[in-house]
Amino acid sequence: MGTIVRTVSGDVRGTASDGVYRFLGVPYAAPPVGARRLRPPQPVEHWAGVRDATALGPQPPQLKFGTDDPLGLLFDPAVVGDDCLNLNIWTPEPGAADLPVMALSPGGAFRYNSGGSYDGSRFARDGVVLVSLNWRTGADGFLYLGAGDDAANLGLLDQVAALTWVRDNIRAFGGDPDRVTVFGESAGAMSIGDLLSMPWAEGLFRRAALESGAAHHVVAADDAARIGARLAELLGVPASRAAIAEVPVERFLQAQGQIDAELAASPDPARWGVEVLASMMPFHPVVDGDVVPAPPIERIASGAGAQVDVLLGTNADDWRYSPVLGGFIDQITEENLTGPLETYGWWSIAAYGLDPGEVLPHYRANRFGPTPGDVLGAVMTDWWVRVPALRLADAHASAPGGTYMYEFAWPSPILDGRLGSCHALELPFVFDTLDLGRGQMMGGALGVDPPQQLADTMHRAWVDFAAEGEPGWPCYDPGRRAVMRLDVPSSVVEDPYAAERALWAGVR
């Protein structure tokens, strides 16, 4: 029979094992197809009877993810389908009284999204109701067609709709709607940086945990509009939502892939904008003046999200994964690093707004290694995640909500240690799922006998933060800038990236 829970849209039947109840593929919005394609999320229609919630629901349309991965780093068990605006719930007890809730926004470079790639059972074991979300990515989620476009940032509006569903339904699954923590990694964390700043999301969460992502990654409206117009040109249709929505999904994704290829082949900042050229993400949140009224970091510095408790941080060698796994870390030369942006694109330090003469001595002396590839990995880490995290921590530190900062420093042993403490490596530790091996995100990077002690520490910190607002180490403040360095053993360090804060002043 399973376990039946009543939501505002109808009853759902889940499963239970080992003291954890699972409800999978539960819709939080109507399928974004037909007249709803490329439009804001709409409410779920009420259903009669009991809806099966024992298997993962479909994920949104997206380019291929999780294939050609011999190292077993990526894990994506879901398939694409129409009813893709769904979520998954793990709870220790449906109907329990007011348990803390954690809502996961998955990463994926704003190209991919799979809430089913994460196992929330260990959070439920420890008294937390865990919810993972699917939301639209790529052009499906972040197409922008210029002034007058009334449907920008659909991927963010999907997340608002999902959090609204959590507010209205989570009590039936044992959760407290007034104790919701949103958390995510990479693009998921960048989304949360946006949510912190968005009027649309006010009041939907009490706490936020951001892993390797903060509040800087947004596109200027003019740049996003040019990219949207190019997509329409490739599709051979007028640059309108109605016309683009008529294009079959496969052709739509193919054109999105063509834009990716053009971006890589033609690193022209006048065509793409510097932010898109450095990130290689042609479709991600845009400052449209409505959903995202202004750059999120500016709004947060002005007081947006001030009541929210924030936990944030990065991995010590976060963006090394790109040149190492891309196979080009040893191909990068001094000429690439110091040459013009228009020639070398994101292999050039100029892409990140830095003067090579000023920063190269620091990066050669103070990061993973001295080679050009090592230097690029360190610069990318700072541009992508570390400096944005420092700026967000500083912007939020004086707010009523608490601010806590961490650095994950345990290095992966695979590939002779070349990955270091790379992007997303912390995920199995946060979820306390080291034993799942390759059946989880980044499981193949753990090597043999990863330290359960570190998983115990990290998982407990995230649970305690969701439950009480404190992860177990001192607040970050402008005087001390305390950071918990998570390793074996873990320890608090003070202002470990003072030099980087100064190097990037006025740049990032």
In terms of domains, do 118 and 267 share one?
no
Burial tier of 236 (Cβ tally within 10 Å: 0-12, 13-18, 19+):
exposed
pLDDT of 67 reads: 60
Q: Around Cβ 443, how many Cβ atoms within 10 Å?
A: 21
Per-residue pLDDT for 330 more than 60?
yes
In terms of domains, do 256 and 336 share one?
no
The verdict on residue 273 lying in a domain is yes
| pLDDT 10s digits, 177-201 | 999 999 999 999 999 999 999 999 9
Residues 6+ apart with CB under 8 A from 182: 102, 103, 105, 163, 192, 195, 204, 205, 207, 208, 209
Band of pLDDT at residue 357, cut at 50, 70 and 90 = confident
pLDDT of 96 reads: 86
Per-residue pLDDT for 13 more than 90?
yes
Per-residue pLDDT for 109 more than 80?
yes
pLDDT of 95 reads: 84
| pLDDT 10s digits, 133-187 | 999 999 999 999 999 999 999 999 999 999 999 999 999 999 999 999 999 999 9
In terms of domains, do 112 and 257 share one?
no
Per-residue pLDDT for 267 more than 70?
yes
Band of pLDDT at residue 78, cut at 50, 70 and 90 = confident
pLDDT of 367 reads: 85
Per-residue pLDDT for 100 more than 70?
yes
Residues 6+ apart with CB under 8 A from 46: 9, 10
In terms of domains, do 449 and 493 share one?
yes
| pLDDT 10s digits, 369-416 | 889 999 999 999 999 999 999 999 999 999 999 999 999 999 999 999
Per-residue pLDDT for 1 more than 90?
no
Domain with 249, as residue range(s), is 221-279
Give dist(CA 144, CA 169) in Å, integer.
Answer: 32
Band of pLDDT at residue 64, cut at 50, 70 and 90 = confident
Count the domains in the chain: 3
* Cβ(90)–Cβ(53) below 8 Å: no
Residue type, 326: G
* Cβ(213)–Cβ(107) below 8 Å: yes
| pLDDT 10s digits, 235-264 | 999 999 999 999 999 999 999 999 999 999
pTM above 0.85, yes or no: yes
Tell me the β-bridge partners of 345: none
% pLDDT > 70, the chain: 99
- Residue 131 sits in a domain of what CATH number? 3.40.50.1820
pLDDT of 482 reads: 98
In terms of domains, do 252 and 292 share one?
no
Instruction: Determine the average pLDDT of the residues in 29-35.
Output: 97
Residue labelled with tokens 């947004």: 218
3-state secondary structure 392-449: HHHHHCCCCCCEEEEEECCCCCCHHHCCCCCCCCCHHHHCCCHHHCCCCCCHHHCCCC
Per-residue pLDDT for 66 more than 60?
no
In terms of domains, do 57 and 11 share one?
yes
- The SS3 call for residue 12 is strand
The verdict on residue 508 lying in a domain is no
In terms of domains, do 178 and 239 share one?
no
Share the mean pLDDT of the chain: 95
In terms of domains, do 214 and 295 share one?
yes
From residue 483, how far is each of 196, 330, 365, 404, 406 by CA, in Å?
21, 32, 22, 7, 5
The verdict on residue 445 lying in a domain is yes
% pLDDT > 90, the chain: 92
The verdict on residue 324 lying in a domain is yes
The verdict on residue 188 lying in a domain is yes
Instruction: Determine the average pLDDT of the residues in 423-446.
Output: 95
Instruction: Determine the average pLDDT of the residues in 274-290.
Output: 96
Per-residue pLDDT for 368 more than 90?
no
Residue labelled with tokens 């090592």: 374
In terms of domains, do 155 and 230 share one?
no
In terms of domains, do 340 and 427 share one?
yes
In terms of domains, do 296 and 322 share one?
no
In terms of domains, do 236 and 210 share one?
no
pLDDT of 71 reads: 86
